[in-house]
């Protein structure tokens, strides 16, 4: 399992947090540990989840993934 902290641009409120959490939660093989304004901490199976999946989920929520570490 891999742990990442995602930096997300454009989040400003609790609704933003809920939207990002919802989209990330729909990725098979990923567990959302925490979402706060501007960041999300996730854990995932690298054989099931690719970087593009994270970018797409954040984009689908209406925000931009700017960094993952």
The pTM of this model reads 0.94
SS3 18: helix
The pLDDT of residue 68: 87
User: Structural domain boundaries of the chain?
Assistant: 2-68
What tens digit of pLDDT does each residue of 9-35 get?
999 999 999 999 999 999 999 999 999
Strand partners, 3: 43
Half-sphere CA count of 31, side-chain side, radius 13 A:
7
The pLDDT of residue 49: 97
CATH architecture group of domain 2-68: 2-Layer Sandwich (3.30)
Over residues 34-63, mean pLDDT: 97
The pLDDT of residue 41: 98
At 56, the pLDDT band (50, 70, 90 cuts) reads very high
Which of 32, 33, 37, 34 shows the shortest CA–CA distance to 53? 32
């Amino acid at each position: 399992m891999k742990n990442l902290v995602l930096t997300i641009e454009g989040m400003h409120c609790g609704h933003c947090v809920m939207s990002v959490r919802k989209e990330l939660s729909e990725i098979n093989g990923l567990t959302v540990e925490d979402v706060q304004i501007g960041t999300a901490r996730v854990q995932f199976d690298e054989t099931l989840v690719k970087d593009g999946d994270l970018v797409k989920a954040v984009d689908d929520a209406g925000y931009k993934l700017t960094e993952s570490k």
